[in-house]
Homo-oligomer: A and B are copies of this chain.
């Protein structure tokens, strides 16, 4: 029976006839160690099947080589919207390239979310944090800023002073969507978004208003509705609007919601796009296959993930950073859910 104790740096040191610190340096591939000793140490590591203990390493060096990911609200919900996997895909590409692992917090609500962040930061489990979406009411951002802990947020925070963030130009994107409808002859344009708790909703509402204004159209309260980010939310919002107004076009700030909007439109006896044109946001994979295929604003979700990870890692490595934020471009994808009037 083999009682296989864990082989540590000491065992390697002994076998290679060097000091533990030398082994440590070899692991870090320090240039101040002679080629010969390195070889000798490598050989010893090989023979003993040595592998560094990352935890001990972290404790001593205060570096974890891992990035914390904070999902919005419940992790469970987050994975339901294709937006998040896509952002994570971007993040994981960069993390992999830069040799970072990813620690996912699993939280269920606002309090737990805060808890999760504290656990990561004070627990010293990560080198930096990416916040996947900011709410205006978020107390996390000031907290992290005060802790002087490196983090970047996806989505421009209300108070962006001293915080690094990555986002689209949401005002511009929303103007783009609205103008598209206006150019196609629409005058009564509805606007459906997620809760105004989210800065992104606020900004897109502004973009919508601006587009109306610049085209001499008047803003009408009854054409605007907020609901939760889900198919059902979109459905409910559109039902409410159709009960009090007659839009010919609608801007919906989330494709998943847009599916609900389409469903509501049909349920109310209208056709898409013949009676009502719809433009969505995010260009999720589903939107190309919807019926009709959805015209939508592609916000480069993948890129949002890429850039946020790059920005965070640049910060961690104390690289020169040009700006404390990055704007990722959007583009309008024309499909079949809009028509001229």
Q: Report yes or no: B51 in contact with A118, Cβ–Cβ below 8 A.
A: yes
Interface hits, A103-120 → B, CB 8 Å: 103-108, 112, 116, 118-119
* A119 contacts across to B, CB distance below 8 A: 54, 101
Q: In the complex the two chains form, what is the Cα distance from A66 to B92 in whole Å?
A: 18
A136 interface residue (CB < 8 Å to B):
no
Q: Report yes or no: B106 in contact with A103, Cβ–Cβ below 8 A.
A: no
Q: Report yes or no: A104 in contact with B104, Cβ–Cβ below 8 A.
A: yes
CB distance from A186 to the nearest CB of B (A): 25
* A285 contacts across to B, CB distance below 8 A: 82, 286
Quick one: which of B66, B88, B101, B106 contacts A79, CB cutoff 8 A?
B88
Give the A interface residue count (CB, 8 A).
48
Known contacts A289-B290, A289-B291, A290-B289; A53 and B123 CB within 8 A of each other:
yes
CB distance from A203 to the nearest CB of B (A): 26
Q: Report yes or no: A82 in contact with B82, Cβ–Cβ below 8 A.
A: yes
* A291 contacts across to B, CB distance below 8 A: 289, 291
Quick one: which of B51, B64, B106 contacts A101, CB cutoff 8 A?
B106
A121 — nearest CB in chain B belongs to which residue? B51
A102 — nearest CB in chain B belongs to which residue? B104
Q: In the complex the two chains form, what is the Cα distance from A285 to B92 in whole Å?
A: 23
Q: Report yes or no: A108 in contact with B96, Cβ–Cβ below 8 A.
A: yes
Quick one: which of B55, B82, B95, B116 contacts A59, CB cutoff 8 A?
B55
CB distance from A217 to the nearest CB of B (A): 32
A34 interface residue (CB < 8 Å to B):
no
CB distance from A142 to the nearest CB of B (A): 16
* A125 contacts across to B, CB distance below 8 A: 54-55, 101
A242 interface residue (CB < 8 Å to B):
no
Q: Report yes or no: B123 in contact with A52, Cβ–Cβ below 8 A.
A: yes
Q: In the complex the two chains form, what is the Cα distance from A119 to B58 in whole Å?
A: 13
Q: In the complex the two chains form, what is the Cα distance from A107 to B96 in whole Å?
A: 6
CB distance from A155 to the nearest CB of B (A): 19
A254 interface residue (CB < 8 Å to B):
no
Q: In the complex the two chains form, what is the Cα distance from A82 to B80 in whole Å?
A: 9
CB distance from A5 to the nearest CB of B (A): 13
A315 interface residue (CB < 8 Å to B):
no
A84 interface residue (CB < 8 Å to B):
yes
Interface hits, A122-159 → B, CB 8 Å: 122-125
7 contacts between A and B (CB under 8 A): A55-B64, A96-B112, A101-B104, A101-B105, A102-B106, A103-B103, A291-B291
List residues of A whose CB falls within 8 A of some B CB: 51-56, 58-59, 64, 66, 74-76, 79-80, 82, 84-86, 88-89, 92-93, 95-96, 100-108, 112, 116, 118-119, 122-125, 259, 285-286, 289-291
